[in-house]
Amino acid sequence: MSSLVNILKAAGESTRLRLLSLLADGDHSVKDLTEILDQSQPRVSRHLKLLADAGLVQRHAEGAWAYYGLAPHGDGAELARWLVARIDPTDPAYSRDRNRQAVALADQQALATAYFAKVADSWDLLKTLHVPEEAVEAALLEAMAGRVVDLLLDLGTGTGRMLELLAPAYKRAIGVDSSREMLAVARSRLAAAGLTHAQVRLGDIGSLDPSVGLADVVVIHQVLHYFDDPGRMVAQARRMLTPGGEILIVDFAPHDLEFLRTEHAHRRLGLSREQMTGWAETAGLEVRSVREFPSKNKKDGLTVCLWHLQDREKTE
C-alpha cells in the first residue's frame, strides 16, 4: 500500500501530470521539457526525480544530457498511461504544452536540416572518419544475401549509399529524406550507377506518407541518433512493414563524444542494446541479432551496431 500511495503522490500534481502527458508522446531531454513548460531547469528536474523515484518515468543519462520517457513496465507505468488517457485535450495547459512541443521539435528538425545541407557533399567522407564503414556494409550485404525483396524502404537515405549498396537485393526501393541537398547528391549517385529501380523522395521520416506502400525491408542507417525519441522512429518503421517484414538499423553504441552533439547535430550519444530491445518490444518487433563493429581509431573512434529486427507476426 505504501508503494501505491507514493506513486499516487508523485502523479498528483499539475506540473508532473503535464510532464507525464508530454512523455507519453516519446522521450524528451530535460532542456526540451524546461522550454515547453516554461519553468526553470532545477524545478523541472525535481519533478522528474519524483516521477522517476515512483516508477512513473524512466531516466537515461547520455553524457551531459539526460532523457526521460514513461516507464515501460510496473504499477507506475500502468497508472501513468491510465492518467494520460483521461486528460482533456481541450484543457488550456495541455494545448499550450502541445504547441510549444511542436515548436521545439520543429527547431530541432531545422538544426538537423541545416547541418545536413552544410555537409551533404562530404557526408560519406565524414562518416568514414569515425566509423568502420567497410565492415558494416559487408554485414548489411550478408543480411540480405541471396534475397530479392519486392520493396526496400531507406529512411533518412542521405546520399543514397544504402540504395546503391543493396541494389541487387530489391526489385524496387524508395529512399526518403528531408534534406533537398542530400537528395540532390543521392539522385546524382543513383543516376551515375544506372540504378533505375530506386528512387528518392523528399519527406519527413517521422511522419511517413502511407502512399509509399508497405516494405519487406526497412533500412535506418545512421539516423536514429538525430532524434530525441528513437523509439518513436522504430514504431513508425514497424507500421511501414509487410507482415513478417524486417528492419535493419545501423547506429552508434553508447559513447561520450559530446562534440558530436554540439558540432554535428546528434541528439542521442549512441543507442544501447537494452534500449533497442525495449523499443522493439513496444513496437511489436523482436531482435533477431545484434553485431558490433569497433573502430580502429582508439582515440575518437566509435563502435557501430547493426540490429536486425523482425515483425513478430511471422513467428506467432
Q: What is the pLDDT of residues 194-229, one digit of tens each?
A: 888 998 988 888 888 787 889 999 999 999 999 989
User: Any idea what DSSP says for residue 253?
Assistant: P
Amino acid, single-letter form, for residue 63:
G
Task: Record the pTM.
Answer: 0.70
What is the DSSP pairing of strand 304-311 with strand 285-293? Answer: antiparallel
Q: What is the pLDDT of residue 222?
A: 92
E strand or H helix at 89, and its extent?
none
Task: Report the 10 Å Cβ neighbour count for 72.
Answer: 12
Q: Does residue 22 contact residue 97 with C-beta atoms inside 8 Å? A: yes
Please state which of the four CATH numbers 2.40.128.30, 3.40.50.720, 2.40.50.140, 1.10.10.10 is assigned to the domain occupying 2-87.
1.10.10.10
User: Rounded to whole angstroms, what are the CA distances from 304 to 63, 217, 250?
Assistant: 18, 20, 7
Task: Give which of 184, 193, 182 is closest to 222, Cα–Cα.
Answer: 182
Superfamily holding 121-314: Vaccinia Virus protein VP39 (3.40.50.150)
Domain boundaries, the chain: 2-87, 121-314
Segment 138-147 shows an average pLDDT of 96
**Coil/strand/helix, residue 42:** helix
| Mean pLDDT across 110-117 | 67
